[in-house]
Structures are given as structure tokens and as C-alpha cells.
Amino acid sequence: MKSSKNLLVLSLVTSAIALSAPAAFAKKAKVGVEFKEWNITLSEETVPAGEIEFAVKNKGKEEHEIVIIKLNTDVATGRLPVNKDGGIDEDNMTFGVMIGEVEGLAPGKKTKESFNLKPGRYAVICNLIEEEPNGEIEAHYSMGMHAVLNVE
């Protein structure tokens, strides 16, 4: 009997904590991301540091992705150094650090993914490179698919 009483007390304490918790655990910041050909639009320019949810929607006609890069220079997000093919070398960055990516999202699809971001300036880019049937190379980054996000 004694132990079940203790259990009841414990569960009351637990639910009291649960009720007071939401205010203590700051709600996750969200950034809406929309793809079109050829741009990336973010719903926010600045977000607080911490866990940030990226809600990504592909409103375009082609597959797109986001690559999140923490920049270590003041360079504009459209002026990052590129390879011959017009894409960014994700394995050998001198201008920043790769934080994460949401890989190829088909047209019309949406997805959510969270990343822990420290204060700084970030580039959010699509780094897909495609070869069209006529041999033309389309590097999405060089065609304009980049945006800046400030984390404070």
C-alpha cells in the first residue's frame, strides 16, 4: 500500500512539472524555406541561437536541397567560391563550415528538419548540379539559389 501511495505522489509531482515546463523550454524557432527556380526564400532573416526547425517546401518544378553553411567571412551568400561546374565544394570549404543539409526534395514535396545553430551568419544554398539532356550544366547555386540567415 505504501509504495502505491508514493507512486501517486510522484505522479502528481511529475504532472505539476509537466504543466509548468512549456514556458521553461523555449519553443523552437522556425524558418520556412521555399524553393523555386532559381531562388530560395526564407521566412526569417534572423533567429535566436539554438534548435531551429527548417520547414522546407519545394514550390518549383525541379528537385532542390538546402545546404547550411556557417560563414566565417563577410562575403555575400551569392559570392562564395565555386568549382568549374558552378557548385560549391562541400568537402573543402575555406569560407565556412558545413552544418547540415536537407537532401533532394522533389517538386511539390515538403519536409521538416532541425539543426542546432550557434550565433553567426549562415548561407542556405541549393548545391545541386544537373546535366540537361542537351549537355548544358545547371548549377543551382550559381543560378541564384542562396539566402542568408543570421543567428543571434
User: Cβ closer to Cu ion: 64 or 70?
Assistant: 64
125 touches 149 (CB < 8 A): no
119 touches 50 (CB < 8 A): no
User: Cβ closer to Cu ion: 29 or 60?
Assistant: 60
Residues whose CB is less than 8 angstroms from the CB of residue 108 and which lie 6 or more positions away in sequence, other chains included: 58, 59
> Which grid coordinates are listed for 138?
545547371
Shortest Å, Cβ 125 to Cu ion: 9
Shortest Å, Cβ 74 to Cu ion: 25
User: Cβ closer to Cu ion: 51 or 130?
Assistant: 130
> Which grid coordinates are listed for 95?
569560407
Closest to 56 in 3D by CA, of 132, 114, 121, 143: 114
Shortest Å, Cβ 149 to Cu ion: 17
Enumerate binding residues for Cu ion (CB under 5 A).
64, 126, 128, 140, 145
Shortest Å, Cβ 29 to Cu ion: 24
User: Cβ closer to Cu ion: 140 or 146?
Assistant: 140
